Structure 1
Amino acid sequence: DAPYSIQPARLKPGKYRNVTGNSALALGLIAAAQKAGLRMFCGSYPITPASDILHELSKYRRFQLTTFQAEDEIAAISAAIGASFAGALGVTGSSGPGIALKTEAMGLALMTELPLVIINVQRGGPSTGLPTKTEQSDLFQAVYGRNGECPIPVLAARSPADCFETAYEACRIAIDCRTPVILLSDGSLANGSEPWLLPDVNSLPKIDPDFATDPAGFMPYKRDEKLARPWAIPGTPGLEHRIGGLEKDALTGNISYDAQNHEKMVRTRAEKVRRIADRLEPTEPFFDPAGDVLVIGWGGTYGSITQAVIEARQTGLRVGHVHLRHVFPLPNDLTDVAARYRNVLIPELNMGQLRFHLRGQLGLESVGLNKIQGKPFHVAEVRSAIESLARRKHLPAEQEIA
């Protein structure tokens, strides 16, 4: 006679433990460093809601892990870059205001082409904003928020448990491609918890730092098929080279003010990031592969969107769901997938940043469902938007559903 009944969870058999988003991020970083055979260094400055990542990592020093609470955000990321230069996996974390302070050093990490993972646990903004509330308003900051042509891969986790896999993937890309990588989480993921199926560590993807060791023919900016330059640990005989924020010669690494060389280096760094999309798995929508509405989401809206799509399909609508882990570069086939649906809906906890990003990068027209209240979506809000959009036959471009 109870008004509600809760069915047993349909979970894959295995051993589970409870994780928060922040604790899962920490474990993903450790797993990646161990798989790569690297020491890990995390330099951070306390800030809500990211501080627990540093706290969690400090418990695992037995895994060749150094945690450093710096005097400020700039010192934190600069120390992490130095650790990467020395042959460790450098990591730094913060929230939106702290990421703003780190941006100059992020450009340095890109110019030096060293592995670095930068975690942004988003909160309500701007400025101090709503430190204890969730939001998705730092997408533009992550993709575009630096001086100069400074492309950095951006990944986003979708659930507390998914934070592990996303952190591992961010480290793999950073090491393989010799680039800083930004990982976006948010307050609801960071402090939310769920059961996490313990992975088989032997089945985790291989990560090979592939340090340069042979001085014969060594050139610090001679690139491999991924356009990654050699990672040479300081002090290795015969591998001495210049490093820093000034533009470098495309092969020798010497400081260069040559106009053609600068354009070549800018385009090469951009192409290196673009090629990441060529190695992504094909995009497979959840639920209907074609139909009335495709819902594209990213980050912590995953749960609300998934349940809303399930309920909308129960009314007879044909609805698909794509949840992006790779925000930049975007999957190459995303435009083709979206073309199989009459309408595209993008729910996000901001004023439409992913919607504008997709339009600018891919020319993809969509309709936004936007909420900026420091709270996640209710399932009913997303379901109502899906049903409303499915009933419409002709839509003006760049429309937002109230």
Structure 2
Amino acid sequence: MQAEDEISAAGMAIGAAYAGHLAVTTTSGPGVDLKSEAMGLAVSIELPLLLIDVQRGGPSTGLPTKTEQADLMLAMYGRHGEAPLPIVAAYSPSHCFDAVLEGARIALKYQTPVMILTDGYLANGSEPWLLPAAADLPDISVKFQTEVNGTGPDGEPKYMPYLRDPITLARPWAVPGTPGLMHRVGGIEKQDVTGNINYEPLNHEKMMHLRAAKIAGIANDIPPLAVDDPSGEAELLVLGWGSTWGAIQAGARRLRADGVNVAHAHLMHLNPFPANLGEVLSKYSKVLIPEMNLGQLSRLVRAEYLVDAKSLTKVQGLPFRAAEIEAKMLEMING
């Protein structure tokens, strides 16, 4: 469906999610700016939708036909208030399918909006891809709430729209019009369990912590970070995300062919990080993070894990070449 603007597109996606559908809206960086208020609403009412950001050169109109990876901080923090959401990044044209499928799984299981990050390099790229059989794909179906799940103050059966799953902390998903499950949604803070409007300070703080804990808990439901370190003797770990994957892989293979040890790990899940990321980082004395921005992942990693990660940045509207990353690897190994 074509909307008149980005704000309307985000609003329609929220409406579709409320009606019981997995909603998807796509854009690039400036569109994420415009959708940010609606994404905060989606975080507050806890509905599943995907926002796919095909990153381009910015700020503003910037380089509308060129690539960049400069929306990571926007994806992490670009909403009013404390409004965390999961972030999944694709690393190749074919991997875009897997990234969106994983984002959909998370959105549906945890009842949350999810940001999918790709970029212009991936959007304009191509590679052979074997179309998977539908029967081989994971089952991401959900069970809608169809019956009341609690009791009111007078003991009468009542639907509690924020009675959470004890493991995922996801709230139930009830399709509007289901008999007996009428409930209210909106941007004003909700009371825990009942979903009624609530302005009490302690309830607000509790809901903040519950929403944050729900997203943080996803780390226990994603694969551990895999490390490509054939020798097991590398001192340098190159940590990447998104479309830098190919250039990092090529650079690392060139060095290994010359007898130089180097390790490579690539993040698909950027929020939350894989549970073993801290352990992986601790095994290497040197960490290099190449990215097409001015060091956004590097800042997040340094803040979260207190490691002296070094940045290799490029903001020319062009992807990295393997030789650029190879040269920086050698510089750090020999430095």
TM-score normalised to structure 2 length: 0.95
Provide Cα deviations, 1:309-340, integer angstroms capped at 9, x if missing partner. 00111222211111100011111111111222
Question: Quick check: 2:219–2:272 contact (8 Å CA) kept in 1?
Answer: yes
Counterpart in the other structure of 2:229: 287
Question: Could you tell me how far apart the structure 1 residues matched to 2:306 and 2:190 are?
Answer: 34
Counterpart in the other structure of 1:134: 67
Question: Could you tell me how far apart the structure 1 residues matched to 2:304 and 2:4 are?
Answer: 38
Counterpart in the other structure of 1:355: 298
Question: Could you tell me how far apart the structure 2 residues matched to 1:366 and 1:290 are?
Answer: 19
The question of 1:222 aligning with 2:155 is answered: no
Whichever residue aligns with residue 356 of structure 1, its letter is R
Counterpart in the other structure of 1:389: 332
Residues paired across the two proteins, number: 325
Q: Secondary structure of 1:351's match? A: coil
The question of 1:147 aligning with 2:80 is answered: yes
Counterpart in the other structure of 1:114: 47
Question: Quick check: 1:292–1:343 contact (8 Å CA) kept in 2?
Answer: yes
Question: Quick check: 2:149–2:160 contact (8 Å CA) kept in 1?
Answer: no
Deviation (angstroms), 1:283 = 1.7
Counterpart in the other structure of 2:183: 241
Q: Secondary structure of 1:369's match? A: strand
Deviation (angstroms), 1:290 = 4.6
Counterpart in the other structure of 2:310: 367
Counterpart in the other structure of 2:260: 317
Question: Could you tell me how far apart the structure 1 residues matched to 2:332 and 2:2 are?
Answer: 48
1:274 corresponds to which of 210, 213, 216 = 216
The question of 1:85 aligning with 2:28 is answered: no
Provide Cα deviations, 1:95-125, integer angstroms capped at 9, x if missing partner. 0001100000000000110001000000000
CA, structure 1 residues 333+216, in 2 after alignment: closer, same or farther (shift >3 Å)?
closer
Question: Quick check: 1:292–1:317 contact (8 Å CA) kept in 2?
Answer: no
- For structure 2, list consecutive stretches of 5 or more residues without a partner in the other structure: 151-158
Map residues 328-343 of structure 1 onto 2, 5 A cutoff. 328-343=271-286
1:231 corresponds to which of 151, 155, 173 = 173
Provide Cα deviations, 1:265-315, integer angstroms capped at 9, x if missing partner. 000000000000011212220233451211000001111010000011122
CA, structure 1 residues 340+74, in 2 after alignment: closer, same or farther (shift >3 Å)?
same
Question: Could you tell me how far apart the structure 2 residues matched to 1:316 and 1:284 are?
Answer: 22
2:134 corresponds to which of 182, 201, 210 = 201
- For structure 1, list consecutive stretches of 5 or more residues without a partner in the other structure: 1-67, 393-402
Question: Could you tell me how far apart the structure 1 residues matched to 2:121 and 2:84 are?
Answer: 27
Over the residues paired in the alignment, what is the CA RMSD in angstroms?
Answer: 1.0
Question: Could you tell me how far apart the structure 2 residues matched to 1:361 and 1:173 are?
Answer: 23
CA, structure 1 residues 216+230, in 2 after alignment: closer, same or farther (shift >3 Å)?
closer
Question: Could you tell me how far apart the structure 2 residues matched to 1:200 and 1:82 are?
Answer: 31
The question of 1:307 aligning with 2:262 is answered: no
1:187 corresponds to which of 76, 96, 120 = 120
Question: Quick check: 2:225–2:267 contact (8 Å CA) kept in 1?
Answer: no
Counterpart in the other structure of 1:172: 105
CA, structure 1 residues 216+339, in 2 after alignment: closer, same or farther (shift >3 Å)?
closer
Question: Could you tell me how far apart the structure 2 residues matched to 1:347 and 1:312 are?
Answer: 16
264-273 or 190-199, larger mean C-alpha shift: 190-199
Question: Could you tell me how far apart the structure 2 residues matched to 1:370 and 1:290 are?
Answer: 26
Question: Quick check: 2:86–2:271 contact (8 Å CA) kept in 1?
Answer: yes
Question: Quick check: 1:153–1:182 contact (8 Å CA) kept in 2?
Answer: yes
Q: Percent sequence identity over matched residues?
A: 52
Provide Cα deviations, 1:168-197, integer angstroms capped at 9, x if missing partner. 000110000000000000001001000012
Provide Cα deviations, 1:11-59, integer angstroms capped at 9, x if missing partner. xxxxxxxxxxxxxxxxxxxxxxxxxxxxxxxxxxxxxxxxxxxxxxxxx
Provide Cα deviations, 1:346-389, integer angstroms capped at 9, x if missing partner. 00011000000111222232111111100001111000011110
CA, structure 1 residues 290+93, in 2 after alignment: closer, same or farther (shift >3 Å)?
farther
Whichever residue aligns with residue 254 of structure 1, its letter is N
TM-score normalised to structure 1 length: 0.79
